[in-house]
Amino acid sequence: MLEVIKQCGSVAQVAKKVYGYDNKYSREKIMEFINSNNVDITHFKKNKKISRVEKTCPVCHQIFESVINHRHEKITCSHACANTYFRSGKNNPNWKNDRYQTTCWQHHKKECVVCGESLIVAVHHHDENHYNNSPENLVPLCPTHHQYVHSKYRFMVIDKIETYLYNFKKS
């Protein structure tokens, strides 16, 4: 066991090597052995003291105290601020910086180009390539006319859409 103690960096590591597990009782047995045999354990890693620092919450700008370089380090002051900070906007892992709907509404009026409906408006990719989000490829359509474009009734709306895109590209 002396060789194991010399190789390990902590009581927990010794317990895992000797007993195969680490808990309170295995650590007590190791410490009893160390104390009874006067084993040198100065090479064991000492617990770092947790340093605290004052931070400013990025949401509410309140000053709060947090630990540094620790798994409990906080970025915001509360759960409410954390929900605001991490679950909305650019900090959300599902955030899409360039959504095709936003691009469409920046360049086109939010109304169907066929009938003028403005309450519910969908965005149609004219070339049906959903990776092509250029304004020339996006067409605002109401759900009914969007369905027409993707059905056998395409011929009823395609002329108005082509005319709208032609005029859009000209301007």
pLDDT in tens, 89-105: 666 666 666 688 888 98
- Element spanning 55, H or E: strand 52-56
What's the pLDDT at 131?
87
In 63-169, the DSSP E strands lie at: 63-67, 122-125, 138-141
Across the chain, which has 171 residues, the per-10-residue mean pLDDT values are: 84 88 89 89 70 89 87 88 80 69 90 94 93 92 95 94 93 82
Are 118 and 111 spatial neighbours (Cβ–Cβ below 8 Å)?
A: yes
C-alpha gyration radius of the chain: 32
What's the pLDDT at 112?
96
CA distances to 26, 143, 164 from 154, in Å: 75, 13, 15
What's the pLDDT at 46?
65
Are 121 and 115 spatial neighbours (Cβ–Cβ below 8 Å)?
A: no
For the whole model, what pTM was predicted? 0.46
